[in-house]
């Protein structure tokens, strides 16, 4: 028993030693929505690799489920208490997180939003993200070109993320409609468009189950739907199952956003026509570099020219390229995919 206590005490002293040794190094935090979604797993890998390269101590936190706002606030508070230099944050609740972010910035930390912009976007020092509007626009343009003259009489189903209309879902939805050539109404929300080609909007929670149910609901409204916009590839896979069950899987065009490996494989198999691929690994590694630069001499990251965020790029992946829209094929997409 005494041995155990001595051993524990020694171990604790040793740990305290390493902690104080790291104390004068730079530390950073990564806070994601969950630590199980492959997208965030990839983001974490990118951040860890870059942090190790630059000699930064990285602490990672995540909500228990998507939408777990409290855990993210607690993580920000922990980072402030830990004396971190900066936070990379993918917020679950883009407006409610703002006071916590402000608290961190007041404490002298640089806060960078990854993937999901905060509301308002300048609540964070910078946003490193895919241009989600552009991502939507690319698949919208592609779908319109692929349909040719039939685009004028298309029947479109919009499979969105959630009823709360988070920024990322609104941007992709509105981008798609703009690319397809539909008047947006208020570009800050989906569902207010009056174009008769839109059959309806429904929400999917971004997974297969939600995608299937939403597709079924919209098919009940109009069984002649022939274009389906989906917020991401799992929702697209669910929509495909719904179409398959009524034997319409081959005459409906499905487009999506994300570019994960299963999604790119689904393009190869003809399940999805085209997807816009984003690059989470790049977002995270650029974010760590920005924190390192800030820790060194207080430099704040700059936005991409003409945009209010740092654009980490997007590419259209399809095996059926159309004129006027740049794209890469699935072989290239598989090389770059993050799943």
Partner 1 sequence: MSSQDDYEGAATQSRATVAEFDDHRRGFVGSFHHALHTTPALVPLIVLLAAIVIFGMLLGSKFFSPFALTLILQQVQIVGIVAAAQSLVILTAGIDLSVGAIAVISSVIMGQFTFRYGLPVEVAVACGLIIGTGIGAVNGWLIAVMKLPPFIVTLGMWQIVLAANFLYSANETIRSQDIAANAPLLQFLGTTFKVGADADGRGGANFTYGVLFMVGVILLLSYVLKHTAWGRHVYAVGDDPEAAELSGVNVKGTLISVYALAGLICAFAGWALIGRIGSVSPTSGQLLNIESITAVVIGGISLFGGRGSILGTLFGALIVGVFTLGLRLLGADAQWTFLLIGALIIAAVAVDQWIRKVAA
Residues that bind partner 1 (CB under 8 A): 36-38, 41, 65, 163, 200, 202-203, 207-209, 211-213, 216-217, 220-221, 223, 234, 237-238, 240-241, 244-247, 262, 265-266, 269, 271, 339
* DSSP-derived 3-state class of residue 20: helix
- The minimum distance between CB 311 and partner 1, in angstroms, equals 27
- The minimum distance between CB 244 and partner 1, in angstroms, equals 8
Burial 208-227 (b: 16+ CB within 10 A, else e): bebbbbbbbebbeeeeebbb
**Cβ closer to partner 1: 56 or 252?**
252
Tokens coding 217? 């609901």
**Cβ closer to partner 1: 241 or 289?**
241
Beta bridge partners of 274: 255
Instruction: Name the residue among 320, 322, 310, 315 with its Cα closest to residue 336.
Output: 315
Instruction: Quote the Cα angle for 71-74-77, to 5°.
Output: 155
- Measure the CA–CA gap between 196 and 182, rounded to whole angstroms: 10
- Measure the CA–CA gap between 151 and 149, rounded to whole angstroms: 5
- Measure the CA–CA gap between 264 and 48, rounded to whole angstroms: 25
**Cβ closer to partner 1: 196 or 302?**
196
Angle between helices 167-180 and 132-147 (to 10 degrees): 30
Q: Are 289 and 28 in contact (CB under 8 A)?
A: no
- The minimum distance between CB 87 and partner 1, in angstroms, equals 24
**Cβ closer to partner 1: 246 or 300?**
246
- The minimum distance between CB 268 and partner 1, in angstroms, equals 9
**Cβ closer to partner 1: 181 or 339?**
339
**Cβ closer to partner 1: 266 or 276?**
266
- The minimum distance between CB 59 and partner 1, in angstroms, equals 20
- The minimum distance between CB 303 and partner 1, in angstroms, equals 32
Task: Give how far Cα 192 sits from Cα of 170, 213, 217, Å.
Answer: 12, 22, 19
- The minimum distance between CB 61 and partner 1, in angstroms, equals 16
Greatest pairwise CA separation for the chain in angstroms: 84
Pairing mode, strands 198-203 and 110-114: unpaired
**Cβ closer to partner 1: 114 or 242?**
242
- The minimum distance between CB 131 and partner 1, in angstroms, equals 26
Instruction: Name the residue among 157, 154, 185, 158 with its Cα closest to residue 173.
Output: 158
**Cβ closer to partner 1: 206 or 301?**
206
């Amino acid at each position: 028993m005494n041995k155990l206590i001595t051993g524990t005490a020694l171990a604790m002293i040793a740990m305290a030693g390493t902690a104080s040794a790291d104390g004068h190094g730079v530390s950073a935090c990564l806070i994601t929505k969950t630590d199980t979604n492959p997208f965030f797993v990839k983001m974490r890998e990118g951040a860890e690799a870059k942090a190790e390269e630059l000699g930064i101590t990285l602490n990672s936190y995540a909500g228990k489920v998507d939408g777990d706002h409290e855990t993210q606030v607690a993580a920000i508070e922990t980072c402030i208490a830990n004396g971190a230099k900066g936070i990379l944050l993918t917020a679950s609740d883009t407006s409610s997180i703002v006071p916590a972010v402000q608290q961190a910035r007041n404490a002298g930390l640089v806060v960078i939003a990854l993937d999901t912009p905060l509301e308002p976007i300048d609540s964070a020092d910078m946003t490193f993200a895919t241009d989600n509007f552009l991502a939507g626009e690319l698949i919208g343009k592609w779908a319109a070109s692929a349909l040719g003259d039939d685009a004028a009489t298309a029947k479109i189903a919009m499979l969105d993320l959630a009823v709360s209309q988070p920024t990322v879902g609104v941007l992709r939805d509105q981008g798609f409609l703009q690319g397809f050539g539909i008047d947006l109404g208020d570009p800050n929300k989906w569902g207010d468009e009056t174009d008769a080609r839109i059959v309806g909007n429904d929400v999917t929670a971004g997974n297969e189950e939600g995608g299937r149910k939403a597709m079924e609901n919209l098919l009940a409204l109009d069984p002649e739907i022939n274009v389906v916009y989906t917020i991401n590839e799992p929702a697209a896979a669910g929509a495909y199952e719904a179409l398959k069950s009524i034997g319409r899987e081959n005459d409906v065009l499905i487009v999506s956003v994300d570019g994960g490996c299963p999604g790119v494989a689904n393009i190869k198999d003809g399940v999805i026509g085209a997807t816009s691929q984003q690059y989470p690994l790049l977002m995270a590694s650029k974010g760590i570099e920005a924190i390192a630069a800030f820790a060194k001499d207080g430099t704040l990251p700059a936005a991409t020219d003409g945009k209010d965020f740092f654009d980490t790029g997007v590419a259209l992946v399809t095996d059926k390229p159309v004129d006027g829209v740049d794209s890469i094929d699935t072989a290239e997409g598989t090389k770059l995919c993050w799943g």
